[in-house]
């Protein structure tokens, strides 16, 4: 996400633009880490409060740019939840208008109150959309052999955007959806090759591949062996 890049002169060298804090806020919102969210917000408003003190060297555009970035992060996070909250939208544009047209010092209390209200709306929406790892695993084990199963379908189940689902999946499983799905299919394919007499076409179908040639290529690329070679290298443990 692109953040504002304000000019910072020598008088601001002790108060650098809070890129890291804004990034931590973004991560905390996506991961729903409530204590961290409040911590980052307190740091950001603490920095802005310095700009309201008599004799402060902070120009108005510095505070305005920080506020714009906070609103952008909140708006983007809300979009990822794939929700349409009229109350959020109305308050967002009211707050944006205040930030655009008034010095922070003049509308400080109202701006802070509005932003925390926006955050509260986000937290409530996010709580309803919380994705549990155990639930994802359950769905993956149930649907992995469906040829049409995709990250989009998984996102629809949880009523969140594909982008948010992709982020949460990789954060939870330390790999992307397609790699995790292929590993599930690969393990099942190996099991069927070793423990049954099903032909390769049937195994391909049972692991979510309608195109047997594609299944064979993927299997060989992953193991260095064709499915038939893999089956021939180990005795079957059971017969159907």
Reading the block at residue 202, the tokens are: 């049937």
Cβ–Cβ under 8 Å, residues 64 and 102: no
Left if phi > 0, otherwise alpha if psi is -120 to 50, otherwise beta: which for 55?
A: left
Tens digit of pLDDT for each residue in 70-129?
999 999 888 776 666 788 899 999 999 999 999 998 999 999 999 999 999 988 877 666
- The Cβ of residue 212 has, within 10 Å, a number of other Cβ atoms equal to 16
**Residues composing the chain:** 240
- CA torsion, points 157, 160, 163, 165, in degrees to nearest 10? -50
> Does residue 4 have a pLDDT over 60?
no
What pLDDT sits at residue 86?
A: 81
CA torsion sign for 143, 146, 150, 155 is negative
Q: Where are the domains of the chain?
A: 13-128, 133-232
Looking at domain 133-232, what is its CATH homologous superfamily? Homeodomain-like (1.10.10.60)
């Amino acid at each position: 996400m692109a953040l504002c890049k304000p000019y910072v002169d020598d008088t601001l060298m002790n108060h650098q633009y809070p890129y890291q804090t804004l990034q931590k806020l973004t991560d905390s919102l996506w991961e729903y880490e409530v204590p961290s969210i409040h911590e980052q917000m307190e740091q950001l408003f603490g920095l802005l409060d310095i700009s309201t003190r008599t004799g402060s060297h902070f120009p108005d555009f510095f505070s305005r740019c920080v506020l714009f970035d906070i609103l952008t992060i909140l708006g983007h996070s809300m979009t990822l939840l794939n929700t349409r909250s009229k109350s959020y939208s109305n308050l967002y544009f009211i707050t944006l208008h205040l930030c655009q047209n008034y010095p922070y010092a003049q509308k400080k209390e109202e701006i802070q109150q509005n932003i925390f209200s926006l955050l509260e709306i986000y937290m409530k929406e996010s709580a309803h959309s919380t994705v549990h790892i155990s639930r994802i695993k359950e769905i993956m084990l149930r649907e992995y052999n469906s040829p049409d199963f995709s990250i989009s379908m998984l996102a629809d189940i949880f009523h969140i955007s594909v982008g948010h689902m992709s982020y949460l999946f990789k954060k939870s499983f330390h790999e992307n959806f397609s790699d995790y799905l292929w590993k599930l299919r690969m393990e099942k394919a190996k099991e069927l090759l070793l423990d049954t007499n099903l032909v390769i076409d049937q195994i391909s179908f049972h692991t979510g591949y309608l195109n047997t040639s594609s299944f064979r290529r993927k299997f060989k690329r992953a193991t260095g062996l064709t499915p038939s070679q893999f089956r021939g290298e180990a005795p079957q443990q059971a017969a159907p």
